């Protein structure tokens, strides 16, 4: 939670970037996209050679775009290129390392390629609007048009190779918006609320053996974490560049699910008897952790075994820490 809360510190807003910084950011973006497309091509070459050839072509085009941007930058600002990337800009869509996942399916690659092309197209369109130099404006506007061509090409790949799934563009867009606007923030909130509140709640429980005190601590921890996570999600990204949708919806999803995650194992202490309340809280913790595993596997495509190992091990370690600290 603290990482999210301070994630915007030290970053620049896109609106505040200079023309030089925008060009440097565009260069970084093109280099990264070229490598990603090349990696997709390598991954698909064995089973889908025609699709791999298309991604190879897209990688070459992105490389050419990057060289044009470098030439324009060096002509106007000199040889030294500012080391700026998407990590340095608030709300900028950061590529997730999905291309490192083994056995990545064609449908997932298709979806990621569509999202890459869309966000790059939108970035160059907005960058062109901010360019004061006419030559740079034309270059960025042309790149926005080229990225739009990539977007159409990725859709054509879907039509050619995924006929059996019969996914329309609207279905794909709606599904991705659901993931980006509701599932991702909600999952982050549920994980934070379920795991981060375990230690204070159970430390209080085993230190006091008082259900009322434990309930009050649990309520304050859950509500406070929900407000913090919801506020952080809403203000750190307005969704314009990232395409993640309404910040209010994302903040609501994150905040509510964080509070639910904490309340799940706090409310059992409404029971006035300590051990029945605690045993029920343990059972609810178990259900919460498995719910997180299921969501990660179902919506985020995380392999089930890996998700179970990471979530349950992490949760049990935090739970154990709370029990040990409270009982000492």
> What is the per-residue pLDDT across 63-77, written as a single tens digit (0 to 9) for each?
988 999 999 999 999
Residue 156, pLDDT score: 66
Place of tokens 């915007």: 8
Place of tokens 């997709």: 40
Surface-to-core class of residue 250, CB atoms within 10 Å of its CB (0-12 exposed, 13-18 middle, 19+ buried): buried
Q: Residue 86 region, left (φ>0) first, then alpha (ψ -120 to 50), else beta?
A: alpha
Residue 241: what are its φ and ψ, rounded to 5°? Answer: -85, -40
pLDDT given at position 172: 60
Predicted local confidence at residue 274, as pLDDT: 94
pLDDT computed for residue 208 by the predictor: 93
pTM for the complete prediction?
0.55
Residue with tokens 């509500």: 223
Q: Give the Å distances, CA to CA, from 123 to 44, 85, 137, 206, 271.
A: 27, 13, 13, 53, 54
Q: What is the pLDDT of residue 169?
A: 47
Largest CA distance in the chain: 75
CA separation for the pair 255, 49 (Å, rounded): 45
DSSP bridge pairs for 12: 89
Comparing CA positions, the residue from 132, 128, 154 lying closest to residue 142 is 128
Task: Give the residue among 249, 248, 267, 268 at the shortest CA–CA distance from 259.
Answer: 267
Residue 7: CB atoms within 10 Å: 14
How far is the C-alpha of 289 from the C-alpha of 320, rounded, in Å? 14
Backbone angles phi, psi at 80, to 5 degrees: -75, 120
pLDDT of residue 171: 53
Residues in the chain with pLDDT values less than 50 = 1-9, 162, 164-167, 169-170
pLDDT value, residue 210: 95
Helix axes 134-161, 106-130, angle to 10 degrees: 160
Query: How many whole angstroms separate alpha carbon 181 and alpha carbon 198?
Result: 27
């Amino acid at each position: 939670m603290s990482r999210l809360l301070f994630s915007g510190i030290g970053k620049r807003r896109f609106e505040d970037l200079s023309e030089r910084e925008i060009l440097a950011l565009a260069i970084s973006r093109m280099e990264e996209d070229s490598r990603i497309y090349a990696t997709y091509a390598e991954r698909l070459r064995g089973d889908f050679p025609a699709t791999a050839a298309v991604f190879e072509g897209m990688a070459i085009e992105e490389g050419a775009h990057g060289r044009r941007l470098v030439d324009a930058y060096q002509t106007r600002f000199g040889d030294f290129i500012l080391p700026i990337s998407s990590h340095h800009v608030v709300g900028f869509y950061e590529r997730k390392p999905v291309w490192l996942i083994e056995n990545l399916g064609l449908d997932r690659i298709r979806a990621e390629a569509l999202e890459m092309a869309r966000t790059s197209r939108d970035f160059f369109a907005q960058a062109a609007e901010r360019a004061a130099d006419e030559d740079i404006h034309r270059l960025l506007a042309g790149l926005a048009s080229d990225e739009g061509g990539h977007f159409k090409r990725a859709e054509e790949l879907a039509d050619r190779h995924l006929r059996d799934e019969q996914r329309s563009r609207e279905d794909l867009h709606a599904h991705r918006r659901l993931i980006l606007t509701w599932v991702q923030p909600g999952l982050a909130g549920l994980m934070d609320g379920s795991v981060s509140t375990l230690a204070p709640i159970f430390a209080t429980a085993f230190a006091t053996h008082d259900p009322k005190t434990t309930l009050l601590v649990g309520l304050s921890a859950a509500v406070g974490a929900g407000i913090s996570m919801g506020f952080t999600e809403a203000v750190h990204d307005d969704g314009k560049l990232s395409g993640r949708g309404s910040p209010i919806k994302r903040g609501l999803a994150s905040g509510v699910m964080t509070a639910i995650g904490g309340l799940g194992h706090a409310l059992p202490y409404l029971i006035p008897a300590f051990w029945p309340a605690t045993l029920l809280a343990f059972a609810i913790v178990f259900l919460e952790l498995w719910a997180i595993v299921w969501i990660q596997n179902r919506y985020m495509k995380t392999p089930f075994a890996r998700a179970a190992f990471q979530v349950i091990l992490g949760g049990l370690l935090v739970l154990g820490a709370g029990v040990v600290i409270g009982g000492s």
